[in-house]
Amino acid sequence: MSKVLVLDNVDDICKQILEERGLEVAVDAKLSDEELVEKLSDKEAVIIRSATKLRAPVLEKVSNLKVIGRAGVGVDNIDVDAATKNGILVMNTPDGNTISTAEHACGLILSAARNIPNAVDSLKNDRWDRKKYQGSELHGKKLGIVGLGKIGAEVAKRMQAFGMDVLAYDPFTTHERAEELGVELRDVEELLGEVDFLTVHTPLTEKTKGLVSLKNAEKLKKGIRIVNCARGGIYEEEDLIPLIDKGYVGGVALDVYSQEPPDEKLYELLKHPQIICTPHLGASTEEAQEKVAEQIARQVADAIEGKGFKGSLNGKSIALSTNKEVQPFLELAQKLGEFVAQIAPKNQDTIDLSYTGTCSKHAEVLTDAFLTGFLDESIDEMVNLISARFHADERGLKIRESHSKESEIYSDLITVDLDKDAIFHHFSATPFRDGDKRLVDINGFGIELSLEGHIVLWQNEDKPGMLAAASGKLAENNVNIANLSLGRSKKEKGKDAITAFTVDTPLKPEDIQALEDIDGVHNVSYVSLK
């Protein structure tokens, strides 16, 4: 009989369903790493919420473990790479918390508009402060949503019912999908300056960290109210009180924090009267906890019995990890997706992918890998070979694939074509020996550029002195060039060219501006790869 360990106070329905499926279930509280190793020594599966951390040192010592089930969405507490390396399937329940989190965000928006928490506290302390806590209507106001995935879309639907005009920033949602939701797309800076309320439903990345801070305070619509049920740190927490006191922000409502539970310093910040705070309750409803417990129990039981692998985050990765033929192409496709995501225009409707040579046999999974790299930094859930197409479909992104057996120059080639109005719209890449992944074509210009590190590229007039001018500007700013590649038109020499540098350190806005100021240089683009 297969044995399962259930931790973190997962709803009792989980144990009930597992036992009905003929599994032996042990339930325990939170355990130390040493206790985990001991308890998991004879278990085929473990089910957890967010409290238990399953890291590499534990996963490397539990040889019988086959499945990890996460009763919820986020898997920040699971080392998925280590699990994959050790052949352990990781599963989550991506839909279970959507409605609960969306409803909580809506509740915080209402609370911020009508001063509900402070008014309640006032009355409970024998005060009748009607004038002090006069609020504002939501009807006719503009709501900004950063991240138009499942939760963001549900928030949009609900707040439209209150008569709000909804604007959104999500570079990977198509205009067609936004139109279906009745949402207008904006660039993020436009959004911040236009909306009365802002809610975020996006992961914490280098691009979203500090989305609202004193640094960009002048770009905010004066008196904006901001809500966060996504990830702590998207708003610069230390700046919140100054932003309120200086009148830039009219109110803050938080459910998530950079440190949970908050430390003493953060607790002091949360005492400000214009900051509403809840202890990460977005997914904490009876319905959500029962739903995710039921879902993960059925998924884990199906996986143990070999009946299905719904919710698997690394199933394909495990299956492909021993396939030496496909592995280099998977890595190339994902890295190419990461590159294109940073250089493509926002809100692309269609992406064409073509595969030539040996890699054409693996076209379907390589598209999954490309989308994983393309979407990873913008989705508030794990994006991988299993879930990438789902997230692309959810945002209305259309993918077209084609493949052929032979290439004129390279034995294997992955080619990406974007909408024709994109400045850089055509890219081809191939794997070289020793794991080197290279771009070999941009817009039909032959180029050789390793897909790694910090890359800056631009179009320039094909004339003497251009390379010297660019390298000189970077040298003035103490930027060291590691590699360079030049692409020229084969048909019209002297007309136009593409230049790309790989540099040793991340570029600053002033470094990019210095290149843009060179006469004959245009369309400077910067990409930083993991």
What are the angstrom distances between the C-alpha of 125 and each of 253, 257, 299, 526?
Answer: 22, 28, 49, 56
- My answer on whether 129 and 248 are in the same domain is yes
- My answer on whether 438 and 338 are in the same domain is yes
Structure tokens at 31: 């355990």
What integer pLDDT is reported at residue 356 of this predicted model?
92
| Spatial contact of 386 and 312, defined as CB atoms under 8 Å apart | yes
Identify whether 119 is part of a domain: yes
Our answer to whether residue 260 is catalytic in this structure is yes
Structurally, the chain folds into a number of domains equal to: 4
Cα 379 to the chain's mean position, in Å?
A: 3
Task: Count CA atoms within 13 Å of residue 113 on its CB side.
Answer: 21
CATH code of the domain covering residue 242: 3.40.50.720
What integer pLDDT is reported at residue 494 of this predicted model?
56
Identify whether 282 is part of a domain: no
d(CA 443, CA 154): 39
- My answer on whether 250 and 116 are in the same domain is yes
CATH code of the domain covering residue 376: 3.30.1330.90
What integer pLDDT is reported at residue 74 of this predicted model?
79
Closest CA to 374 of 350, 356, 357, 355: 350
CATH code of the domain covering residue 478: 3.30.70.260
- My answer on whether 69 and 202 are in the same domain is no
Identify whether 189 is part of a domain: yes
* Cβ-proximal residues to 520 (8 Å cutoff; 6+ apart), any chain: 460, 461, 463, 466, 469
Identify whether 227 is part of a domain: yes
What integer pLDDT is reported at residue 496 of this predicted model?
83
> Residue 252 pairs with which residues in a beta bridge?
226, 275
Helix (H) or strand (E) holding 277: strand 275-277
Domain assignment of residue 180, given as a range: 98-277
- My answer on whether 404 and 462 are in the same domain is no
Closest CA to 459 of 484, 495, 432: 495
Q: Is it true that the peptide bond before 261 is cis, omega within 30 degrees of 0?
A: yes
- My answer on whether 364 and 402 are in the same domain is yes
Structure tokens at 396: 């209305």
Closest CA to 65 of 92, 78, 46: 46
Select which of 104, 231, 298, 395 is catalytic.
231
- My answer on whether 247 and 108 are in the same domain is yes
Q: Is the dihedral of CA 353, 354, 357, 360 positive or negative?
A: positive
Q: Which amino acid is at 466?
A: M
d(CA 102, CA 44): 34
The string over 6-29, giving b where at least 16 C-beta atoms fall within 10 Å of a residue's C-beta and e elsewhere, is: bbbebbebbbebbeebebebeeee
| Spatial contact of 401 and 355, defined as CB atoms under 8 Å apart | yes
- My answer on whether 45 and 120 are in the same domain is no
Identify whether 67 is part of a domain: yes
Identify whether 317 is part of a domain: no
- My answer on whether 189 and 172 are in the same domain is yes
Our answer to whether residue 194 is catalytic in this structure is no
Select which of 55, 272, 280, 403 is catalytic.
280
- My answer on whether 423 and 478 are in the same domain is no
- My answer on whether 129 and 262 are in the same domain is yes
Closest CA to 430 of 360, 500, 518: 360
d(CA 367, CA 12): 40
What integer pLDDT is reported at residue 81 of this predicted model?
86
Our answer to whether residue 280 is catalytic in this structure is yes
Identify whether 504 is part of a domain: yes
Planar angle of CA 62, 64, 66, nearest 5 degrees: 100
Domain boundary among the residues 251, 277, 303 is at 277
Identify whether 247 is part of a domain: yes
- My answer on whether 374 and 428 are in the same domain is yes
> Residue 143 pairs with which residues in a beta bridge?
166, 197
Q: Which residues of the chain have pLDDT under 70?
A: 321-322, 405-408, 490-494
Select which of 34, 35, 137, 260 is catalytic.
260
